[in-house]
Amino acid sequence: MSSNRDGMTKEYAADEIVVEWEPRLCFHSQNCVRALPQVFDDSRRPWVQVDAATADDVEAAVARCPSGALRTRRIGAQAPKRQQWSELRASENGPLLITGGVRILDAEGNTLYEGERAALCRCGGSSNKPFCDGTHKKNGFRG
């Protein structure tokens, strides 16, 4: 295990693949642990043992990480072309503002919205979650 240059990402390497873990993004969905417990075990240190499964299996398990805290890169492979990024910006004392195109799904995978911009509730008070309905102006949300 090592940390990369930004000091915020830990790296776990095997011969073919590197798993990167950025703890500040992790919300502990446990998807990785359920997918590949021999590799991802948060009761063990180090909690990632990349060489306990094939690189393909590790890659598939990491692809189930919903937060982006876990990522992989193949050793010797060219970095994939960067996609055009959408942008999420926290507004002062208000919603998360998304620009650049987004599709928002409910828990069953049904599309709630597709479009160029959206405002998502950060205060927890909206009656129209995940969208902001302006309640943050009345409930004293600061953030």
Return the range that interacts with ligand FES (CB under 6 A); candidates 32-40, 45-53, 64-72, 127-135.
127-135
**8-state DSSP, 115:** E
Q: Is 49 in the site for ligand FES (CB under 6 A)?
A: no
Q: Is 135 in the site for ligand FES (CB under 6 A)?
A: yes
Query: In 3-state terms, what secondary structure has residue 139?
Result: coil
The only residue of 48, 50, 95, 98 in contact with ligand FES, by rule CB under 6 A:
95
Q: Footprint of ligand FES on residues 52-91 (CB under 6 A)?
A: none
Give CA torsion, residues 133, 134, 139, 143, to 10 deg.
100
Cα–Cα distance measured from residue 19 to residue 116, given in angstroms and rounded to the nearest whole number = 32
Query: Where do contacts with ligand FES occur on this chain (CB under 6 A)?
Result: 94-95, 121-123, 125-126, 132-136
